[in-house]
Structure 1
Amino acid sequence: MDKIICNPLDLEYRYQYRTSPMGGVSLSREAADPTIVLFKETYYLFASMSGGFWYSDDLHEWKFKETPELPIYDYAPDVREVAGRVIFSASRHGSPCSLYESCDPVNEPFVPLTELFEFWDPDIFEDEDGRVYFYWGCTNTDPLWGIEIDRETMLPIGEKKAMFGENEAEHGWERKGENNKLSEPKTEYERMIRQYVGTKPFIEGAYMTKYKGKYYLQYAAPGTECNVYADGVYVGDAPLGPFSYQPHNPFSSKPGGFITSAGHGSTFRDKDGNWWHVSTMHISENESYERRIGLFPCDFDEDGILHCNQNFSDYPFALPEGESILMDAAAPAMQLLSYQAEAKASSNQDGFAAEMAVDENIRSWWAASEDDPEPWYEIDLGEKQSVEAIQINMADHKMPDTQIPANNQVFTRAGGRFIYTKPQRTAYLLEGSADGINWEMLLDTHDENSDRAHYLWTSEKPVELRFVRISSFMIPFGGVPAISGLRIFGTSNSPAPARVKTINASRSDDGINILLSWEAIAGADGYQVRYGIAPDKMYSSWQVIGQNELDLSTINKNQCYYIAVDSYNAGGVTAGAVIMVE
């Protein structure tokens, strides 16, 4: 059976309790700023605020290991192989940061290696000649920095050098805000943060990759709380530059769809030589730093341009066996069958109705009433469909804080926090039916001692179903069941929509937006806007749901773009017209 995954990755995300200086309280899952390294045939995944790491043999099944010896509250952990050992670094403000090493992270603890200086968002890179370099930076005022360090002691050699900084006037995708447009602060705390940090984009998350003699220094912008959080890249002939801006940028971007954002990540090769990019995806409803992990195929084209395939990248896809063909896919292997399907539930709270779990938005959800003794949720697809996978996305709805050990919080200038290093058990029963009378057990997680917030159920062969029901919930901290997406995938009996034939486009006066519109296609659930610097390099995409227009903001000034608009529904994807915008 194929090994199928679906973004966001289904990991045991750790809960984090946070208090703001203004008195706000939140409790939600978090993991972000991921690094994956392949070391001695094992993949290691480190992410912020996790208290450990995940490891895997195949990028499909992940196990978690706690690391009490590492600083749990340091952000943006970086792990790289240097001289046959795994080197760990993470960042904090106000004091020097340390490096740690392990030759066998699963079986041996990390031990302190050396203390460096104060830095933020680190990355270590060992070149083919054995020389080692260190990169860091996370501000909206300073550039990213780089310096050579000794391979054995990991101490600096020489002076640091500036790599590059923000350029939002030329790089439209670096601008802060939802869809790269700043809105007014909604709360006094947000207003305080705006006054403190300003409106310039944060340039952060350095990561170095070498390919065919070229050095690809990757970075994230404009901020982790934005749907347009993405990764760009500069390319040079030497590890410390000088660097030139790649014409295709950002190379990792997911501003639309069920879950958005694809910034601050790392690029690695798997055991078969395929390239991958792992990065941060955002929810940011309970708290700005409510985030998840996404994994995307990536590659270098014949011109050395680094790019990802993020077309429908929150739909299920099979991990390749051997050489990947994922970069060629413009349409998903399975279609979404549940968008705007008829949904009902045993109860709901005001503002959290049943239809909010089928609206293709992870930031809205159905929530059961607090006094519902046996909550359940059900979807009717209207007729029998061929179902191959179901993704169950649990939301953290107004989680109670009565059990929080607040006296154990760590306090920073951003407020207090406490991370639960143990998984908080989540369980449910998933059933399917062809007629609404006879029900088949699809999944029962009550025997699992785990927290599966984004469980992906798959079937070895398609199952004919019309109804899908989830019930018998067990929720962390005694919270109520809440589902942000009960997403059903497979093959529909419906035909694919008609083709988009006409696209209207005009460039904004400042040159860093393209205003797009196209004719609405009857029966289309949405549209995929693909764009890039050449007809054969339309590597970026933006999934548009519920409208036939888009203010395309994730582009660069003075760059010619080729743009296609594809229509799609449960029946499939229809490639649309292509235009050029100078």
Structure 2
Amino acid sequence: MTRVWSNPLDLSYRYQDVRFSGWVGGVHLGDPRRSIHREAADPSIVRYQGRYFLFASMSRGYWHSDDLAEWHYRPTEKLPPFDYAPDVREIDGALIISASRKTGNSPFFRSVDPLADDFAEVAPGTFSFWDPSIFQDDDGRIYLYWGCDNVQPLYGLELDSGLEPIGQPVPLAASDVERRGWERTGEDYVVPEPKTERERMVAQFAGRAPYIEGAWMTKVGDTYYLQYAAPGTQWNTYADGYLTSDSPLGPFTYSSSSPFSSKPGGFMTGAGHGSTFQDEWGNWWHAATMRISVNDVFERRMGIFPAGFDEDGVLFCNQSFADYPLVVPDGAFDPRARLEPEWMLLSYRASAKASSTAPGHDAALATDEDARDWWASTAPGVGEWLAVDLGQAQHVHAVQVNLADQALADTAPPLDVGADSGHTWRGIYETHTPAAFLLEGSLDGETWETLHDGSVSGEDRPHALVILDRPKMLRHVRVTAQTLPFDGAFAVSGLRVFGRGEGEAPPQVSPQAARIDARTARLSWTPAPAAMGYNVRYGSHPDKLYRSWLLYERDHLDVPSLNADEQTWFAVDSFNENGVTRGEPVLAVAIDAP
């Protein structure tokens, strides 16, 4: 028996009604607007009473699962809906939940039967905190970690059994951009220069210092792993690093194996602010935030990645091809053993056509492997369709349909209950019409067979992965909208077809790797014939290439995310629809070396 999912997770993400006032830092930017989009981020996952519980920002509830692959949404009105980054951990046999508040006190809630919606406040809290993480040590003592700031560090302190503070907060972790390249802000670690007055004001308000946030504590053996996120949730470089100590309140030592969770390339990027947990077989996993950040900065999704602690105590994630379908055995496994995906991508830049097209949203955008652009029909979109032609008949195993939110402020009714944070008012829709679709396949483009009929279950499937009962020879794949939230347009950011080609994987490539400054390596390679793309793996040792960067149609890459004191090895794997060819590790030598 196996479990299969593909990142981003296919959850019924809740819709937000976000109204931007136009005021930032006391300055009015002159463009008040409204956005309706899905959001969930900052996943906190715990296994409790044989089930997995997932709490996430702005969800007005939580999700639960018995296998990590299929999740069920459960609303609740007993937890504050507008407190960001809810944290959940098991403390003394019960779930304890807390979340972020900028002012006042941040309370704690308790549940012993979450499916019965028995959440109750058990401590009012004595101060406000942001991005909390509560942790109970083996000896029963309880600790709280928190922080989300581009100036202040992460803090920690001990709590008593009533969740009241013992002693004073201890500063534990702060940024060090001069030595940690991955903490630099920006897209690909480069902040674009403002082009308009509005962009200039926003940039001035936000600054260029990284946000250090999203604490999570894991203890393995006698070592405490304090995890944190940087540089900012809106960047493709959003990642998680860690520090270690032999004491829950430090002092902590930064690990040059940071970031351990990083996904700057591929269909959907970002892998920061998450949680590290074990499944029923003892396998480690890391859940993290993935970003879209088009309709709004906080337009985000979530993913789960294989993780572990190696023989030297290094915390790592396997995020190679991390948004391809993941086939996981029901049992213990080595997370490093996944050298290539079970199925390859067959639809990259496949020819696409559609029933209608909104301006600026051509059908080709559904096959370019970028979740931040999309095809959109004219509205209303029910009955509209998108079809891709793979160019030849292929062995198809699975299809992922990723939906986008297109101009929903034009059709969604306004909410009258929400929270005002000064520059933004936010409401969360309690319900919405599910996103359902009909998926069909064909050999000739004329005779179609049903692969998935969303009207049968009526479930909301914004990132549905449809696994076929058996591989099918198909050339054409078509998706048609059946129901859509708010009667909006039908919008698809990725119609992704997976399977195996019948040809050969591309030949091996050998990169030239040079360290051009303390935090940056420059790679280049001769393109491999028939290669679709490259997976760049890197790390501090040729046997520890735990980080990865997935690229399409590239023959070079600057990696500005290195630690200044870290020797770094690189390998470049070439791939196409037929498979992956592993590259041999090479050391990035200083550019001024003889």
Interval of TM-score (by shorter of Structure 1 and Structure 2): over 0.9
Q: Please say if 1:534 is aligned against 2:506.
A: no
**Structure 1 counterpart of 2:324, one-letter code:** Y
SS at match of 2:228: strand
**Structure 1 counterpart of 2:61, one-letter code:** G
Task: Output the CA distance in 2 between the equivalents of 1:7 and 1:39.
Answer: 23
Matched with 2:8 is 8
Counterpart contact for 2:386–2:478, Cα < 8 Å: yes
Distance 1:579 1:523, change over 3 A: same
Q: Choose the corresponding residue for 2:414, options 393, 402, 405.
A: 405
TM-score under structure 2 length normalisation:
0.95
Query: C-alpha offsets along residues 398-444 of structure 1, whole Å, 9 cap, x if unaligned?
Result: 11345433433321123111111224311211101122232111111
Distance 1:461 1:352, change over 3 A: same
SS at match of 1:48: coil
Give matches, 1:285-324, under 5 Å. Answer: 285-324=294-333
CA shift at 1:190, angstroms?
A: 4.4
Distance 1:98 1:387, change over 3 A: same
Counterpart contact for 1:133–1:148, Cα < 8 Å: yes
CA shift at 1:37, angstroms?
A: 0.4
Query: C-alpha offsets along residues 536-580 of structure 1, whole Å, 9 cap, x if unaligned?
Result: 000000001122111112221121001001111101111124210
RMSD, aligned CA: 1.5
SS at match of 2:329: coil
Unaligned runs of 5+ in 1: none
Matched with 2:585 is 578
CA shift at 1:270, angstroms?
A: 0.3
Matched with 1:515 is 522
Task: Output the CA distance in 2 between the equivalents of 1:486 and 1:48.
Answer: 27
Counterpart contact for 1:267–1:277, Cα < 8 Å: yes
Q: Structure 1 stretch 466-475 or stretch 268-277: which is displaced more?
A: 466-475
Q: Choose the corresponding residue for 2:467, options 442, 447, 458.
A: 458
Unaligned runs of 5+ in 2: 23-31, 590-594
Distance 1:371 1:316, change over 3 A: closer
**Structure 1 counterpart of 2:515, one-letter code:** R
Task: Output the CA distance in 1 between the equivalents of 2:387 and 2:313.
Answer: 48
Counterpart contact for 1:527–1:565, Cα < 8 Å: yes
Give matches, 1:272-351, under 5 Å. Answer: 272-351=281-360
Query: C-alpha offsets along residues 157-189 of structure 1, whole Å, 9 cap, x if unaligned?
Result: 111111010111100000111011111245655
CA shift at 1:25, angstroms?
A: 1.6
Matched with 1:19 is 19
**Structure 2 counterpart of 1:295, one-letter code:** I
Counterpart contact for 1:496–1:569, Cα < 8 Å: yes
Task: Output the CA distance in 2 between the equivalents of 1:135 and 1:4.
Answer: 33
Give matches, 1:377-526, under 5 Å. Answer: 377-501=386-510, 503-509=511-517, 511-526=518-533
Task: Output the CA distance in 2 between the equivalents of 1:29 and 1:403.
Answer: 12
SS at match of 1:430: strand
Matched with 2:29 is none
**Structure 1 counterpart of 2:504, one-letter code:** P
Matched with 2:556 is 549
CA shift at 1:371, angstroms?
A: 7.4
**Structure 2 counterpart of 1:169, one-letter code:** E
**Structure 1 counterpart of 2:364, one-letter code:** E
Task: Output the CA distance in 2 between the equivalents of 1:470 and 1:272.
Answer: 37
Q: Choose the corresponding residue for 1:129, options 132, 135, 139.
A: 139
**Structure 1 counterpart of 2:485, one-letter code:** P
Q: Please say if 1:255 is aligned against 2:283.
A: no
**Structure 1 counterpart of 2:350, one-letter code:** A
Q: Structure 1 stretch 463-472 or stretch 386-395: which is displaced more?
A: 463-472
Matched with 2:592 is none
Q: Please say if 1:141 is aligned against 2:148.
A: no
Q: Choose the corresponding residue for 2:576, options 561, 569, 576.
A: 569
Distance 1:56 1:373, change over 3 A: closer
Counterpart contact for 1:528–1:567, Cα < 8 Å: yes
TM-score under structure 1 length normalisation:
0.97
Task: Output the CA distance in 1 between the equivalents of 2:448 and 2:415.
Answer: 44
Counterpart contact for 1:67–1:109, Cα < 8 Å: no
Counterpart contact for 1:91–1:122, Cα < 8 Å: yes
Task: Output the CA distance in 2 between the equivalents of 1:380 and 1:406.
Answer: 41
**Structure 2 counterpart of 1:104, one-letter code:** D
**Structure 1 counterpart of 2:321, one-letter code:** F
SS at match of 2:173: coil
**Structure 1 counterpart of 2:472, one-letter code:** V
Query: C-alpha offsets along residues 522-549 of structure 1, whole Å, 9 cap, x if unaligned?
Result: 2111100000000100000000112211
Counterpart contact for 2:3–2:330, Cα < 8 Å: no
**Structure 2 counterpart of 1:552, one-letter code:** V
Counterpart contact for 2:87–2:98, Cα < 8 Å: yes
Aligned length: 579
Q: Structure 1 stretch 336-345 or stretch 226-235: which is displaced more?
A: 336-345
Matched with 1:94 is 103
Q: Structure 1 stretch 76-85 or stretch 318-327: which is displaced more?
A: 318-327
Task: Output the CA distance in 2 between the equivalents of 1:309 and 1:4.
Answer: 16
Q: Structure 1 stretch 464-473 or stretch 181-190: which is displaced more?
A: 181-190
SS at match of 1:44: strand
Task: Output the CA distance in 2 between the equivalents of 1:371 and 1:417.
Answer: 25
Q: Structure 1 stretch 320-329 or stretch 271-280: which is displaced more?
A: 320-329
Task: Output the CA distance in 2 between the equivalents of 1:571 and 1:227.
Answer: 28
SS at match of 1:489: strand
Q: Choose the corresponding residue for 1:204, options 213, 226, 233.
A: 213
Task: Output the CA distance in 1 between the equivalents of 2:158 and 2:198.
Answer: 40
Matched with 1:214 is 223
Counterpart contact for 1:229–1:263, Cα < 8 Å: yes
Task: Output the CA distance in 2 between the equivalents of 1:37 and 1:373.
Answer: 38
**Structure 1 counterpart of 2:587, one-letter code:** M
SS at match of 1:356: helix
Matched with 2:27 is none
CA shift at 1:466, angstroms?
A: 1.0
Distance 1:168 1:257, change over 3 A: same
Identity of matched residues, %: 48
Q: Structure 1 stretch 222-231 or stretch 568-577: which is displaced more?
A: 568-577
Counterpart contact for 2:380–2:490, Cα < 8 Å: no
Task: Output the CA distance in 2 between the equivalents of 1:406 and 1:68.
Answer: 16
Task: Output the CA distance in 1 between the equivalents of 2:182 and 2:14.
Answer: 30
Q: Structure 1 stretch 265-274 or stretch 452-461: which is displaced more?
A: 452-461
Q: Structure 1 stretch 445-454 or stretch 132-141: which is displaced more?
A: 445-454
Task: Output the CA distance in 2 between the equivalents of 1:33 and 1:40.
Answer: 22
Q: Please say if 1:167 is aligned against 2:176.
A: yes
Task: Output the CA distance in 2 between the equivalents of 1:196 and 1:162.
Answer: 25
Distance 1:437 1:273, change over 3 A: same
Task: Output the CA distance in 1 between the equivalents of 2:201 and 2:128.
Answer: 25
Counterpart contact for 1:432–1:442, Cα < 8 Å: yes
Task: Output the CA distance in 2 between the equivalents of 1:324 and 1:277.
Answer: 15
Query: C-alpha offsets along residues 325-361 of structure 1, whole Å, 9 cap, x if unaligned?
Result: 3321121111000101111112212221111101011
SS at match of 1:413: coil
